Structure 1
Amino acid sequence: MTDSQKHIIGLVIYPGMTALDIVGPQQVFSALPNVQIHRIWKTLDPIETDDGMVILPDTTFDHCPPLDVLCVGGGLKQMAIIDDPEILGFLRRQGSTAKFITSVCGGSMFLAKAGLLQGYRAATHWMMREHLAALGVEVGTERVVIDRNRMTGGGVTAGIDFGLVVAKALCGEEAAKIAQLLMEYNPAPPFDAGSPEKAGPDLVNKATSYAMGTLGLQVE
């Protein structure tokens, strides 16, 4: 692909998704030159995310052009549709030709269900690691895992790091750095509790109980 050609990026969205899984990467991608971004679902009806935000698709599965980057995120309600044949069929079709097959957070579960992660390492949200491993995927704990043309991000906020990695692959390091600067992505979190390894077992148990009880996430 030459610099004058557009990089076509497809972000699969669905009811019950986590908004930041897709909004984070989109913010990065929107700062890149020569990109066209599609937000894709079965219909053009509004999508309500797991935190109540509403996002509008602009492309349907049936009308989506061939993608250079195929991306799907996770969500607290994703297990309700994880085996949806229309979603998995779309991922398989686009995954057969996409330059990069990617995910953020629990989106790797969709890729695995579609058979797109067999023989690959991938990242996911820490609550989903055992589920992803059960599908035969080698699970990495890095913020972003790159295995050939599979690029997968860890949980939620890792989508920004993931977006910058994809940006470098598409447009070069300088373009990715400019996108980072425009976003003023200079993280300095007030707490060092952003991973289960750092948070410790007490916070992990409380966070898991909150997700399972309050938000309905099915985690064993």
Structure 2
Amino acid sequence: MVIVVVGSGKLAQELMVFFLSQPGCQALTWQTLGGRALADAVVVHAGSGRELDEVVAYCSRTHTTLVELSTGSAVEGRALNFPVVLCANTNILMLKVMAMLAGHGHLFQGYERRLTESHQAGKTSTPGTAVELAESIGLHERDIVSVRDPAVQQDDMKIPAEHLGRHAFHRIVIEDGLSGVTLETRVLGPAPYAQGVAQIVAAIQAHPLEDRLYKVTELVDKGWL
């Protein structure tokens, strides 16, 4: 298994550390790859987008599958001649919840619905998971309540102090006035994301993909994850 990691931020660094520790896995940075075509390679884009044009050109030339981890990626609107898996999230348990709501969230139309998300204070990018959850239950992005205050995160969401710097929390509340349902998801620390990327890559290598854009929840629906 050859994994090419694009990006220099925290997530990209965590992925490199994780994949370098996995038996039978060769992990390369985008710079180390140097444009070489490698059999059975998968490119994982965890960068800001500065190198995306180069990455797309490389994947097009070598017909290499691209795993896109950046929210709101420009790759979504492009004509593709290679497979792309778009990941709003890479935690497998969370992805299964997202797939469940994507398939059945329409059943809650007509009820009062609220969605709150919380991430570490330094997160400024679009909360892609929350946006997909909102769409699934018929809410707009503007309806999402975002929390970045550590005091609120500890008191209301019960995020442990040691995970305030890296967590993802989502709360969906659905009510009809007399009864209600609350669904909460909580991911703490970096490990679940790196492990999830590894499972996504394994699923890609075990199943042939068409030359098109896939949402990662499609892999869940197919039973590959």
TM-score by length of 2: 0.38
User: Which has the larger strand fraction?
Assistant: 2
Q: Considering only CA atoms, is the larger Rg found in Structure 1 or Structure 2? A: 2
